[in-house]
């Protein structure tokens, strides 16, 4: 063999795996976490975007639906004037003890000035309350009837007594159920005398005043005869106002109301022949009759005032005194005058 002969290199070994291929002995590519994560991301990417976009679209539709629902509720509850000029019956609930006239007066004014509200129904379930508060609502009812030319009807549910009846008497008509409690025309004044408690605790209430009747009604001692006569004169005067205002509202005379002004109550069935109400019937009858009387046919649409704020936002916006009563209110010991059935 010649000395300059060089043998060729041996051929590569058959079936040698490429340097870049993953080992087949590692199923799922567990030995290569980065490679596996990339593959999983590629598999999930399409669904991720579908879910994200779909969720965003659903959220937008939800917000739009809530907005439309809120607008419709605002229109239906009478908190804003109806932009659709739909004839409605305004309904104002007067429930519980009447101590503040402002809320009801505000609702009456709003409904009175709203052209879409053709009439107002006072849905009453109250034993009455403060004399001045009841009287103030009474006069506001008369004003709205006269100035805004709105028909106002009272519908007594379970109780429409004393100050609540005072308010109802200002309406065009009064409805009550057969078993409703109506009447209690009268005045009551009351407070708590804790003089014996102070004496038991060996405490003394010291009052310095100018004016003989300045401390009349001091709950730490008994009334003098002169003080009793003084308070009785106030109660009698309020009683006269009550009788007269009911007579005016019911289009009759004081002499016809006075025999009924004994402080007692009657059922709705008993009240009709006495002239204290105009018709026996519940809220539904009062609503339909009122709607027909102002030219609304079919099912009457009802508008109610916006409800009070509730939840955390309402709590944060509420008066601090509602959460933490002012200690000075605990010292409020003034006698109270009430048109209230007890």
Active site amino acids:
162, 214
Cα separation, 266 vs 270, in Å, equals: 6
Cα separation, 289 vs 286, in Å, equals: 5
Cα separation, 266 vs 275, in Å, equals: 11
Cα separation, 102 vs 133, in Å, equals: 8
> Which residues, including other chains, have CB under 8 Å from residue 152's CB and lie 6 or more apart?
119, 120, 121, 122, 141, 144, 145, 170, 171, 172
Instruction: State the DSSP H helix or E strand holding residue 137, giving kind and residue range, or none if neither.
Output: helix 131-147
Question: Which among 287, 249, 284, 268 has a CA at the least distance from the CA of 121?
Answer: 287
CB 124 within 8 A of CB 156: yes
**What's the sign of the alpha-carbon dihedral 77, 81, 83, 86?**
positive
> Which residues, including other chains, have CB under 8 Å from residue 277's CB and lie 6 or more apart?
156, 174, 175, 176, 182, 268, 271
Q: Which two tokens stand for residue 109?
A: 């004014």
User: Which residue bears the tokens 């503040």?
Assistant: 100
Question: Which among 259, 132, 248 has a CA at the least distance from the CA of 183?
Answer: 259
Question: Which among 245, 264, 277 has a CA at the least distance from the CA of 155?
Answer: 277
Query: How many residues would you count in the chain?
Result: 342
Q: Which two tokens stand for residue 31?
A: 């030995």
């Amino acid at each position: 063999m010649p000395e300059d002969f060089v043998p060729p290199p041996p051929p590569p070994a058959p079936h040698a795996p490429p340097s870049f291929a993953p080992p087949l002995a590692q199923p799922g590519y567990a030995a290569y976490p980065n490679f596996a994560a990339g593959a999983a991301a590629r598999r999930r990417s399409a669904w991720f975007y579908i879910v994200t976009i779909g969720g965003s679209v659903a959220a937008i539709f939800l917000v739009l639906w809530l907005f439309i629902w809120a607008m419709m509720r605002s229109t239906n509850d009478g908190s804003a004037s109806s932009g659709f000029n739909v004839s409605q019956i305004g309904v104002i609930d007067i429930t519980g003890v009447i101590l503040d006239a402002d809320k009801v007066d505000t609702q009456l004014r709003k409904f009175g000035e709203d052209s879409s509200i053709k009439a107002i129904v006072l849905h009453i379930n109250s034993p009455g309350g403060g004399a001045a508060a009841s009287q103030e609502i009474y006069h506001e009812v008369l004003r709205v009837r006269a100035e805004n030319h709105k028909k106002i009807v009272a519908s007594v549910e379970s109780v429409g007594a004393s100050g609540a009846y005072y308010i109802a008497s200002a309406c065009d008509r009064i409805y009550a159920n057969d078993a409703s409690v109506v009447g209690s025309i009268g005045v009551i004044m009351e407070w708590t005398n804790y003089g014996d408690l102070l004496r038991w605790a060996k405490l003394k209430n010291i009052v310095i005043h100018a004016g003989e009747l300045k401390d009349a009604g001091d709950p730490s001692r008994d009334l003098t005869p002169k003080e009793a006569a003084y308070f009785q004169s106030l109660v009698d005067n309020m009683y006269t106002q009550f009788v007269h205002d009911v007579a005016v509202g019911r289009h009759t005379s004081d002499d016809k109301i006075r025999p009924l002004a004994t402080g007692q109550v009657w059922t709705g069935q008993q009240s009709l022949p006495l002239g204290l109400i105009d018709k026996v019937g519940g809220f539904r009858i009062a609503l339909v009759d009122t709607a027909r009387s102002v030219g609304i046919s079919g099912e009457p649409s009802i508008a109610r005032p916006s409800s009070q704020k509730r939840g955390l936002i309402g709590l944060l916006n509420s008066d601090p005194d509602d959460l933490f009563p002012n200690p000075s209110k605990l010292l409020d010991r003034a006698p109270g005058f009430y048109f209230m059935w007890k």
